[in-house]
């Protein structure tokens, strides 16, 4: 995009971002004759997420709330003859969340209802993909206590005859990772070892998902919930996998080389999730997002939060300025450990997907080795047990970046 077009897109984005959703489309159409530039603005709006910050923003920094649309009349319905819908509890960019109850077990459930897709062909394609990945996710929960349990996936026809996909999950009473950390550990920078230990259950869950061909694609603090076990211990749960995101994104009309974009939180998005020119999404996208989250926690600030969105996108994709812990001023006592840690994050935060660790198992193994001073004895490609549940990494002994990407897409 040439500088003039970039300036026009930026100006249009800033002009329409705070308008009600119903007014954004006409405003964009009025601003541009070029469909490509219209698409650029719509793409940016899809990433303009009102995500609550992990580290609270400076005093006086705030953003307007997203417009609230009336929830569809799902309350009182029984889905699939089993799930009673009791009340609407939240709205997001993708649709609405309801609380309900499972008639078979009597347990509370969460129901996510997505916005409708008007195009019949696209609707069928999305519903099929949504169902396929949803069934895989349903099988993942028994493999990890840290993945939200999926109960059902289906379609509800609203009073106007529009088909809306829904997904049913276990109901989780708890707080987000951000709230948990702010309440229990404080709001400032955290030691890297503390962050590594805290997030190891999430890394375990992602490693399992990646081994079964599923990427999350929206790692952020609000998608990691913290509940309590019967003994009162904190239990981290990973929610909102890629199936939901792909269905919602396609409904909004955002596409990329390897799937859909839009409706992920830009603050934690990998470059390929923001711009299709960087390639396809996959487990390597989760590597980038998790690395950003770790850096934010240890630095006490997000690398590009509170910047203008387009300026933040430039920084996020600058090959010369990667947001490693060292770049954000994090100091470690042992220089050798500091060098090894920064090398791990330099790789994980690479702009090009093929330069990153291919999945979170590899990332977490390398980070654990660096922290323990084993990085010099266990260079990339060596035989080493993963820090995530002891997953064997022997098969990384040969360069598998391209093979991993190929296997990912062949399995879809």
Question: CA quadruple 179, 183, 189, 192: dihedral positive or negative?
Answer: negative
Q: What is the pLDDT of residue 190?
A: 94
What are the sequence ranges of the domains in the chain? 78-170, 175-410
| Distance (Å, whole) CA 120 – CA 163 | 10
Q: Is 328 exposed, middle or buried (0-12, 13-18, 19+ CB in 10 A)?
A: middle
CATH for 78-170 (3.30.200.20, 3.40.50.1000, 3.10.50.40, 2.60.40.2230): 3.30.200.20
Tokens of 266: 């830009």
Beta strand segments in 70-198, E: 78-79, 83-91, 95-102, 108-114, 150-157, 163-170, 175-176
Q: Render each residue's pLDDT in the chain as its tens digit; 412 residues.
A: 555 666 677 777 777 766 776 677 788 878 877 776 776 677 666 554 444 444 444 444 344 344 456 788 999 999 999 999 999 988 765 678 899 999 999 999 999 888 766 667 766 766 676 676 667 777 888 888 899 888 888 888 888 887 788 889 889 888 889 889 988 888 789 999 999 999 999 999 999 999 988 888 889 998 899 999 888 899 999 987 755 455 444 444 433 323 333 344 678 889 888 777 888 889 999 999 999 999 999 999 888 876 766 777 777 888 888 999 999 999 998 999 999 999 999 999 999 999 999 999 999 999 999 999 886 444 433 333 344 443 333 333 333 343 344 344 444 4
3-class DSSP state of 124: helix
Q: Which of these, 267, 282, 266, 293, lies nearest to 198 by C-alpha position? A: 293
| Distance (Å, whole) CA 214 – CA 233 | 28
| Cβ 338 vs Cβ 90: under 8 Å | no
Q: What is the pLDDT of residue 343?
A: 96
| Distance (Å, whole) CA 140 – CA 142 | 6
- Residues acting as catalytic residues: 218
What CATH number should be reported for the domain whose range is 175-410?
Answer: 1.10.510.10
3-class DSSP state of 72: coil
**pTM of the predicted model as reported, rounded to 2 decimal places:** 0.73
3-class DSSP state of 402: helix
Which backbone phi and psi does 110 adopt, to 5 degrees? -110, 135
| Distance (Å, whole) CA 199 – CA 296 | 13
DSSP code for 188: S
> ∠ CA 265-270-272 to the nearest 5 degrees?
110
Q: What is the pLDDT of residue 185?
A: 87
Q: What is the pLDDT of residue 267?
A: 83
Q: What is the pLDDT of residue 177?
A: 92
| Cβ 201 vs Cβ 143: under 8 Å | no
3-class DSSP state of 133: helix
| Cβ 280 vs Cβ 261: under 8 Å | no
Q: What is the pLDDT of residue 370?
A: 96
Instruction: For 49-69, give the DSSP string.
Output: --PPPSSPPPTT---PPPP-P
Q: Which of these, 203, 210, 137, 209, lies nearest to 405 by C-alpha position? A: 210
Tokens of 127: 């519903």
| HEC sequence for 263-328 | CCCHHHCCHHHHCHHHCCCCHHHHHHHHHHHHHHHHHCCCCCCCCCHHHHHHHHCCCCCCCCCCCC
Q: Which of these, 389, 406, 399, 403, lies nearest to 209 by C-alpha position? A: 389
| Distance (Å, whole) CA 194 – CA 184 | 12
Helix (H) or strand (E) holding 237: strand 234-238
Return the number of other C-beta atoms located less than 10 Å from residue 315's C-beta. Answer: 14
| Cβ 261 vs Cβ 46: under 8 Å | yes
User: Tokens 């989760």 map to which residue?
Assistant: 286
| Distance (Å, whole) CA 248 – CA 252 | 6
Paired residues of 99 in beta bridges:
87, 110
């Amino acid at each position: 995009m040439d500088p003039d077009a970039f300036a026009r897109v930026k100006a249009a984005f800033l002009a329409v971002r705070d308008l009600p959703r119903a007014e954004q489309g006409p405003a964009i159409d009025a601003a541009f004759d070029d469909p490509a530039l219209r698409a650029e603005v719509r793409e940016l709006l899809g990433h303009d997420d009102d995500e609550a910050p992990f580290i609270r923003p400076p005093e006086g920094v705030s953003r307007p709330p997203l417009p609230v649309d009336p929830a569809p009349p799902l309350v009182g319905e029984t889905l699939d003859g089993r799930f009673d819908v009791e009340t609407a509890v939240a709205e997001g960019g993708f649709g609405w969340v309801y609380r309900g109850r499972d008639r078979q077990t009597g347990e509370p459930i969460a129901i996510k209802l997505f916005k409708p897709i008007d195009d019949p062909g696209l609707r069928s394609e999305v519903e099929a993909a949504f169902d396929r990945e949803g069934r895989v996710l349903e099988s993942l929960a028994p493999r990890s206590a840290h993945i939200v349990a999926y109960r059902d996936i289906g379609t509800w026809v609203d009073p106007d005859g529009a088909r809306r996909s829904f997904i049913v999950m276990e109901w989780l009473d708890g707080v987000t990772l951000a709230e948990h950390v702010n309440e229990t550990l404080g709001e400032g920078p955290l030691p890297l070892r503390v962050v590594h230990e805290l997030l190891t259950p999430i890394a375990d869950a992602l490693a399992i998902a990646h081994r079964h061909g599923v990427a999350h694609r929206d790692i952020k603090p609000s998608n990691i919930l913290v509940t309590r076990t019967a003994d009162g211990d904190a239990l981290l749960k990973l929610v909102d996998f890629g199936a939901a995101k792909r269905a919602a994104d396609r409904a909004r009309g955002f596409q990329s080389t390897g799937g859909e974009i839009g409706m992920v939180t830009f603050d934690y998005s990998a470059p390929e999730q923001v711009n299709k020119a960087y390639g396809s999404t996959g487990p390597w996208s989760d590597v980038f997002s998790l690395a950003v989250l770790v850096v934010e926690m240890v630095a006490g600030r997000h690398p590009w939060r509170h910047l203008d969105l387009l300026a933040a996108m430039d920084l996020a994709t600058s090959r010369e300025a990667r947001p490693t812990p060292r770049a954000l001023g994090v100091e470690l006592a042992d220089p050798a450990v500091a060098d090894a840690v920064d090398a791990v994050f330099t790789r994980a935060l690479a702009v090009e997907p093929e330069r990153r660790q291919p999945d979170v198992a590899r990332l977490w193994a390398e980070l654990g080795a660096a922290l323990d001073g084993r990085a010099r004895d266990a260079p990339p490609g060596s035989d080493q047990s993963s820090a995530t549940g002891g997953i064997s990494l022997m098969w990384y002994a040969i360069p598998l970046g391209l093979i991993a990407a190929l296997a990912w897409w062949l399995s879809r």
